[in-house]
Structure 1
Amino acid sequence: MEKIYFIVNLVAGKAVISKKLGKIIDEFVKDGYEVTVHTTQSSDDAVEQAAYACENGFDKLVVAGGDGTLSQCLQGVMDSERKIPIGYIPAGSTNDFAKSLGIPSDKMKAAEVAAIGEPVLCDVGGFNGRYFSYVAAFGAFTNITYETSQRVKNVFGHAAYIADGATQLGSIKAKPMRIESGDTVIEGDFIYGMVTNTASVAGMIKMKDFMLNDGAFEVTLVRKPQNPAELGKTALSLLKNDMTDKNIIFFRTDNVTITNLSDEPFSWTRDGEYGGEEVVNRICCHKKAVPFIVNNKDGLPLEKE
């Protein structure tokens, strides 16, 4: 009998996963699995528990929570020599990476995918010695994802992020940065930057022509607009995935270094969680590093074998 290690964040999203927990476990048992359940107890608990699952003979790791919980589990798997397939039951406020994997938002359907789906090796981001599944970002609004309280997110869901963002429009500041990738060096003042491997970011920015396993990430940088009208135009272009805007720089790479040239620290977000305030930030792509369980790999943006 195969064994599932089931990590659950009971407070993710609107805390709806707790109402489905019994049915999900029953689904796994009916599909022939021995199930061990662990509910997360602290911010880094999922990291340790994911590593435990890899190192103690479990066949699958199933994660029920938001993008942050999944990211923590990914850290534990990447730190382990034996990397077991990850099934994901999205239960957060945005669930960006689940959309990229084609995982249903319905909890029971997602559980079925985790039980009987097929593993697909996906790229994983490296960020200053840690890891991310789909995004590392700095600048305007990126603090919202980890500073908005869990209580507010549980009540208002994705709308909580938008409301917090609206309050920060007047305080956007540009940061002097150096971006290095291969022979390319870019310097300037930027209000936003992100390195992504996803179909969407924060449920709003839609990305096109990306692949989950091609060994490259998409880098999007937004220079400081000259006035509020130009800021609005650039923001609209970003939301429409129009990378021809004069303030937007876009390229693909497997390795990029982003350096803060100012005297003031600035923070990063990594999969919606706090990512630190390092001066020099080294980001790389680990190609086909971890297997994720999906429903139909033929319908996903994957590199042809």
Structure 2
Amino acid sequence: MKKMYFIVNLVAGKAVINKKLGKIVDEFVKAGYEVTVHTTQSGGDAVEQAVYACEKGYDLLVVAGGDGTLSQCLQGVMGCEKRIPIGYVPAGSTNDFSKSLGIPADQIKAAKVITHGKPVLCDVGGFNDGYFSYVAAFGAFTNITYETSQKVKNVFGHAAYIAGGAAHLGSIKAKPMRIEYDGRTIEGDFVYGMITNTASVAGMINMKNFLLDDGIFEVTLIRKPKNAAELGKTAVALLRNDMTDKNIVFFRTNNVTITNLSDKPFSWTRDGEYGGEEVVNHICCHKKAVPFMVRGKSRLPFEK
């Protein structure tokens, strides 16, 4: 019998996973899996449990939670010699990465994708000594996701992020940066930057023409606008995926180094979680590093 290790974050999103957990497990059992369920107990618990699943010979690791929970499991899997396939049941507030994988928002349907789908190798981002599934970012609003409490996220959903961002409008400051990639160097003051491999970021920024298995990430940087009106115009362009705005720098690469040129440290996020405050940050793409369970028949964004 196939063995599945099922990691569940019971407080992710609006905690709706609690009502469907029995049906989801039943779906897995009917598909022939011996299911071991583990509910996360702390911030780093999912990392340790993912390592456990890989080392103990489980055939499949399934994660039910938000993008942050999935990212933690990815940290564990990437550190193991044997990287078992990952199934994802989206249960967070935004679930950006599940959209990129073509996984339904309905959790029962997502479970069926796992039982009837196929494992496909996807790229994984490397960030200094850690990893990310779909985005690493710095600057304006990136701290909102991990500074907003889980209870507030559960109650207000996307409104929690918007309200938090509005409260920070007056404190947006540009950061002097050096960006090095493919033999090129860019220096300047930037208010935001993100390295992505996804269809959407924060449920609001939609990315186009990306592949999940090509070994290339998309890099988007926003230079310091001259005034609030210009900032607003650039923000709208970003939301529309219009990379022709004069304040937006956009390129694709598999390896980039971003250096903080100021004396004050600033923080990064990885998949919506706190990512540290290093002065020099190395971001790379690990091509086709981990298998994810996806639909067996439909054509997906990463299929060539």
| TM-score bin (small chain) | over 0.9
Amino acid at match of 1:94: T
The answer as to whether partners of 1:13 and 1:157 remain within 8 angstroms in 2 is yes
Is contact 1:120–1:297 with CA below 8 Å preserved after alignment?
A: no
Which residue number corresponds to residue 36 of structure 2?
Answer: 36
Give the match's secondary structure for 2:12. coil
Partner SS for 2:256? strand
1:286 matched residue in structure 2: 286
3-state SS in 2 of match to 1:71: helix
What SS does structure 2 have at the residue aligned with 1:210?
coil
Q: Which runs of 5+ in 2 are unaligned?
A: none
**Scaled by the length of structure 2, what TM-score is found?**
0.99
Identity across aligned pairs (percent)?
A: 81
Report the residue type matching 2:14 in the other structure: K
Give the structure 1 partner of residue 138 of structure 2: 138
Q: Secondary structure at the match of 2:281?
A: strand
- Residues of 2 paired with 1:279 and 1:296: CA distance? 43
Where do 5+ consecutive residues of structure 1 fail to align?
A: none
2:123 and 2:290 in contact (8 A); partners too: yes
Partner residue, 2:198: 198
Alpha carbons 1:214, 1:303 under 8 Å: kept: no
Q: Secondary structure of the residue that 2:71 maps to in structure 1?
A: helix
Q: CA deviation at 1:159?
A: 1.6
Pairing 1:8-19 to 2, within 5 Å after superposition: 8-19=8-19
Normalising by structure 1, report the TM-score: 0.98
Question: Which sits farther off after the overlay, 295-304 or 242-251?
Answer: 295-304
Deviations 1:135-194 (A, max 9, x none): 000000000010000010011112211111111111110000000002110000000000
SS at match of 1:275: strand
Aligned partners of 1:145, 1:120: CA distance in 2, in Å? 29
Secondary structure of the corresponding residue to residue 13 of structure 2: coil
Residue pair 2:116, 2:296 contacting (<8 A) in 1 also: no
- Partners in 2 of 1:118 and 1:162 — Cα distance? 36
Q: Distance in 1 between matches of 2:303 and 2:260?
A: 34
Mapped pair 1:179 → 2:189: no
**Contact residue 225 and residue 247 of structure 2 kept, 8 A:** yes
CA distance in 2, matches of 1:116, 1:132: 26
Determine the structure 2 residue equivalent to 1:150.
150
Q: Distance in 1 between matches of 2:3 and 2:303?
A: 30
What secondary structure, in the 3-state scheme, does the structure 1 residue paired with 2:276 have? coil
* 2:174 alignment partner AA: A
1:179 aligned counterpart, secondary structure: strand
Residue 235, structure 1, aligned to residue 198, structure 2: no
Q: Give 1:114 shift.
A: 1.4
Aligned positions, number: 304
- Per the TM alignment, residue 297 of structure 1 is displaced from its structure 2 partner at its CA by 6.3
Equivalents in 2 of 1:113, 1:76: separation in Å? 23
Partner of 2:100: 100
Q: 1:77 maps to which residue?
A: 77
1:81-112 deviations in whole A, cap 9, x for unaligned?
00111000000000000000000000100011
